[in-house]
Amino acid sequence: MKEKGRQSWREVMARSLSSPQELCRLFGLDLGSTAAAFQLFPALVNPYFLSLIGGPGDAMARQVLPDPRELQDKEGVPDPLAEEKMSPVPHLIHRYPDRVVLLASNRCAIHCRFCNRRRRVGRGHGSTIGPDLSLALEYVRSHQEVSDVLLSGGDPLLLEDEQLESILISLRKIPHVEIIRIGTRVCSALPERITPSVCRMLKKYHPIYMSLHFNHPMELTPQARRACSMLADSGIPLGSQTVLLKQVNDELEVMLELLRGLVAVGVKPYYLFQLDPVLGAAHFRTPVKRGLEIMDELTRRLSLEWVPQYALDLPGGGGKCVLAPKGMGCFPGTDLLY
Ligand SMILES: *Cc1c(COP(=O)(O)O)cnc(C)c1O
């Protein structure tokens, strides 16, 4: 059965720009450095995200166009969170006792130039079938302490509905798996992917939570808002994940507009991530000091209910650590009796 919306997300992806020549012709980039950046991490810009780019150097362009500075990053490493070390079986990361990440797909709607999983994204399987998760699912089955499974990738929503559903069916057969979470960039980078049929399918496997990757208010287009509303209407609690990025969202007003926009479409701000030191992304780095300043101002400009957690992934796989500005949080002084 060909559903109109479903056909169209594949068509959008099929028309993606994915060669150095095409990108250089369109944006007047230097072919030598663009081709060299492709060696580090191939670029992928679908026509939807392309339509959001106003010109080279704007916040949308910076997120997806290769930059010669990627080649000068001397500090970054290929796997900053040591995920490979914490992967007992293929396509699964087990860092915290009660939850695991399943790497359900290697594909994404676009390639973010700051991607911390670029060592896998766009490599290996290039299909909508996805990798073989049998060992990963067996691992979850045999680890009773795992109650929360986070589907990530790549992007799980770059799988066909049937593929995603077969993973959900397998997980729902495991009694100790209580919560399923899906992390995705499609609402902001391929909203066509949120079809009535994928919503109907997801609804069958509640409780499903979703974390939506959004970095800039320009990403909150009418199409993106509609995609969020469709998911919210399907009873899926929506949270957001944002990466703090230099010259993309490291300004208070930009961050406020993004957070307010997310809240207005039913997405609860969840994480603001400090950039991971992945090789090739140093030019996106915003100092923690600046991040804390933004957080401090956010707490005064927004209801605390809408202020995300500012989190940093400790190097070497130490896990997430929440950063808070001085003076935030209350410590009742010793003179306070209660
Ligand atoms: C971020 C992450 C999780 C989920 O963390 P939450 O704080 O529960 O959202 C789980 N496993 C790994 C390896 C992670 O990096």
If you take atom 7 of ligand 1, which residue's CA is the nearest one? 320
267 forms beta bridges with 238
**Euclidean distance between CA atoms 261 and 204, whole angstroms:** 28
Chain segment 172-211, per-residue pLDDT in tens: 999 999 999 999 999 999 999 999 999 999 999 999 999 9
CB atoms within 10 A of CB 177: 19
Q: Which ligand 1 atom sits closest to the C-alpha of 95?
A: 13
Regarding the beta carbon of 99 and ligand 1, being less than 6 Å apart is answered yes
Whether residue 120 has pLDDT greater than 80:
yes
pTM, whole model, 2 decimals? 0.94
Q: What is the mean pLDDT of residues 141-164?
A: 97
Q: What is the mean pLDDT of residues 107-126?
A: 89
DSSP letters spanning 26-49? HH---HHHHHHHHHHS---B-HHH
Per the CB < 8 A criterion, the answer to whether 190 and 109 are in contact is yes
Q: For residue 258, what pLDDT band results from cuts at 50, 70 and 90?
A: very high
CB atoms within 10 A of CB 31: 12
- Tokens 């990530």 correspond to 152
Strands lying side by side in the sheet with 267-273: 92-96, 99-103, 148-152, 179-184, 208-213, 238-243, 267-273, 309-314, 319-323
Chain segment 63-80, per-residue pLDDT in tens: 999 999 999 998 899 999
Chain segment 265-322, per-residue pLDDT in tens: 999 999 999 999 999 999 999 999 999 999 999 999 999 999 999 999 998 889 999 9
CA distances for 302 relative to 142, 244, 254, angstroms: 44, 18, 13
CA distances for 198 relative to 227, 237, 293, angstroms: 11, 16, 40
Regarding the beta carbon of 181 and ligand 1, being less than 6 Å apart is answered no
Whether residue 5 has pLDDT greater than 50:
no
**Euclidean distance between CA atoms 160 and 171, whole angstroms:** 17
Contacts of 337 (CB under 8 A, 6+ apart): none
More confident residue, 234 or 8: 234
What was the pLDDT predicted at 122? Answer: 86
Q: Provide the annotated active-site residues.
A: 95-96, 99, 108, 112, 115, 117, 276, 313, 320
Q: What is the SS3 assignment for 64?
A: helix
Regarding the beta carbon of 182 and ligand 1, being less than 6 Å apart is answered no
C-alpha Rg value of the chain to the nearest Å: 20
Regarding the beta carbon of 150 and ligand 1, being less than 6 Å apart is answered yes
Which of 83, 85, 96, 146 has the most ligand 1 atoms within 8 A of CB, as the residue to mutate?
Answer: 96
